[in-house]
Amino acid sequence: MLKVEIVKVDVAAKETRKMTDYVAEEKPLHISVKKTHYATIFCSPSNLKELAVGHLLSEGIIESVEEIEEISFRKKSFCRVKLKPNIDLEKRLKLLKPFSRIILSACGSPSPYQISARLPKLKSDLTVKAEIILSCVNRLNSIAETFKKTGGVHAAAIYKSDGNLVAFAEDVGRHNAVDKVIGIGALNKTVFSEYFLALTGRLTGDIVRKTARVGLPIVASLAVAIDSGIAVAKDVDLTLIGFARGKRINIYNFPERILS
């Protein structure tokens, strides 16, 4: 967060005054894999290691954190990911064009790789009570300190079936917030099939692909699902929940995992 000087105008009271306020930061994170520039992600400058790991996992560039030999940073915004020698990165990236990408916080990265790669059906015995889903989603903005001060970020979290928090992150980009909690979970050896994701952003196809790729079986949001997100959820048997607010939730697919 940054402090800035603003002029606040109260139209009703017809008053004008100078004051300081907080705004969310957006900085570039340059990620190289095997010494080749992979992507520049515009993001909030926090949990950058977790963002890099989560992004590579959710995009299918790596299959697990065990494939990473080393992660190093230079000047805080340059992240170098060294993979183990037996990883054939070129083979995994052959459908990804262009290889070097700029990923803006506003829209994320619906890459050709995501669209081309068919994901397997999700296998999970996880069930969660509807009231816990609702509580966890509604809790996001209350624990999101940056959001409370700026109103300019998205939040995402991974929860246990009993509602206990496992990972939490905020970012100016909803995709980045999801990648960050995936990275936090992966680095802590989380078995994603036993947990669910809650977030504040729209449930688009690329968001649902990210979560399905790492094996999260339930995704719930304060916001709406759109047709591309529903289509991906149906394709992989993911439980997709939107409009989790007040006293209700909308389940768009695979309601069997949600207990009343």
How many CB atoms are closer than 10 A to CB 64? 10
Catalytic pick from 43, 79, 107, 136?
107
User: How far, in Å, CA of 21 to CA of 133, rounded?
Assistant: 33
CATH 3.40.140.10 residue spans of the chain: 128-259
3-60 per-position pLDDT tens digit = 999 999 999 999 999 999 999 999 999 999 988 899 999 999 999 999 999 999 999 9
Domain 128-259 sits in CATH at: 3.40.140.10
Q: Which CATH number is correct for 27-116, 3.10.20.10, 2.170.150.70, 3.90.1150.10, 3.40.50.1460?
A: 3.10.20.10
Known catalytic membership, residue 107: yes
Q: What one-character-per-residue DSSP string does 193-228 give?
A: GG-EEEESS-B-HHHHHHHHHHT--EEEESS-B-HH
- The pTM (predicted TM-score) of the whole model is 0.93
Q: What letter does residue 240 receive in the DSSP assignment?
A: E
The identity of residue 233, as a single letter, is: A
CATH 3.10.20.10 residue spans of the chain: 27-116
99-132 per-position pLDDT tens digit = 557 787 776 554 433 444 679 999 999 999 999 9
User: How far, in Å, CA of 53 to CA of 81, rounded?
Assistant: 9
